[in-house]
Structure 1
Amino acid sequence: MSEYSSRSRSSSRSRSSRSRSSSPENCPQSIRNGYIIKNRSGFSSKISYIWSINNFFEHTDMIFSPMITFEDGDRCELELHPNGISSDVKDYVSVVFRRYKRRILCESYWRYCCSIMTYTFEDADDDSVYISFDKEKDTSCIPKFIKRKDLEAKILGSLEIKIDIKKYADSPRPRSGCFELSKDFSTALSDMMFSDFTIVCGEEKFDCHAFVLAARSPVFKGMLNSNFKERINMELKIDTVTPEILKAMLNFIYTGKIGSEILRYHAVELLKAADLYQLNGLKELCGYELCNMHISDSEALKYLIIGEIYNEKNLLDECMRMVVKDVKSFSKSQEWEELAAKHPSLMVKITQSLAEYIEDIK
């Protein structure tokens, strides 16, 4: 395992102070022009990060940086290949930058710069240092970041890489009254105005509107569009969730929103309810919240199974990434044996993902 330390500094759009080494006005003109995205509203957040790797030249396998997290939950990491990412660039050190966006529908443009602390900007090749992302791309590779022999002449043992990451967001767009609509429907739910359907959960009753339930949930739509007793009596008894979870789920059905506190502490229960009533938007929110909890290695297989059972792609992909990166360690655990016995189809997916990962790094 690599030994490394890190120092990070994040700043918001309102801050104007910058370190001299990363300031665009102190870069050569060609780099400065590449550093700024024109016709944008400016960067919304920035992180400057220093990644230190001890005994760098003793490493032969790829090295992963710690996960870097923005305030809005977006994350990224750097992947270093000491002997190149493929055989045709074996004389170079390669860099792969990966980002994990919390909100996949949010349009943002990322730009990152990698530099070696002992180097000046003039020492680096412009095209191989400044890399930008558009909203459709989440991985970027610099196969020829620096020649290994040049690096050996510059550093002694330890390597420090400075990473500057900027996120540029589009200007806010009008929401066409979505906020007011959500607010009005929330009022309709709380006031029970013109309600015509009742859900009984435990000792509590929730008065609702049948057309809202049917419009938002295919399960409710099927139930209300049939001769089931729920349609005849206009009442439904639910014992698969608690009243607290049902209340939060109804709030999402009416407003498209979910309370941050209940999402933080009951994301798994909400995910189960969302899957049961086919509320895909709520499933996505739960998946992102679970991913943003910074799942530990000891929990990765547990949440991988949850993501598979409830078909939540974001959670499944995040845990799959963790497992594939360190499959040797996971394969020695008791949880791995249980997974193989109870979820053979998931083991097939792990094998496929591992094969794709190996192919990508060749």
Structure 2
Amino acid sequence: MPGFGTICQMPSFQWKIQNFWNLNVNYGNFIESPQFTLIGEKGMLEKFVFKLYPKGSTVADWVGLYLILVDGTKCTVSFKLSILDKYEKLFQVCKDYHRIFHSKTGYGFPKFVEINKLKSHKEIVLPNGTLTILVELNGVKNKPKDPTMCLVVDLEKLTSNEDFSDVEIHCKDIRLKCHKAILASRSSVFQAMFTNPCKENQTGIVNINDMEPEVLQDLITFMYSCKVKKLKENVADLFIAADMYMMESLKDMCTTYMVKNLTNENAISYLNLADGHNSKMLREAAMNYIVENINDFMERPELKNVSQELVIEIMKKALNPTKN
């Protein structure tokens, strides 16, 4: 059975179950979480899952919850199961338990929480219909953290830590405290700015007025963490910003997204974008998409915004597909 919902590794583990009230599960039947791995005795990897009975396991009108060792050897686990409300406060707490698990066996609670109790507190306990179960584990170590991911997380924290910042970026109504070393290492434009006797290097203030604050925030976040919060919404503007600040990795990320998400509505604008910012991959993909769907594009008003050279190239490819 595939895992249902999402497992988030925190200091402990969270299982987030969306659309809890709409689960198509009858009394006596369960849904199963994705597997998560812990290090047990002698360094052995132990794989666990949760089993949740939304309509009851052996007791009607109660949600049942069990922790199961699905793949591993005998191990001892101390654990506590709870429900987190929308404020991440404990709503339902089961006391600490210390149990020995054998492979394919588990332990849990047929009366974990009363269904009527969830209904009466649904606004607090099930925000947007999502039930969050927290398991706090002792006696079994969590899976070792990936050192690369630890580095990403630690660097991302710098974006909200002003203690060691040495440059401030102004963009319309926002002010971002940043670090010259990070910006210079990620963008050759910033590197040149901070290694020459220019105004920005002397004042420690960089004014950026040619992009929206939301795009700038995504650009800076990517510099620190290689993450983008709103890639779908800002992909075209981020592509332009990445090209402007010579950040090839971000430009590649945006290019890949646009290539995979070409539609009749965006293909022409993406073609213009690629042609103006020297992206061979996006230019070729957008061009081929338009040619393959040429009948859909002949009457589109955006076509008049395409340069004469591009229109000629599109028509040549459409008329001579075997030469493409």
TM-score, normalised on structure 1? 0.45
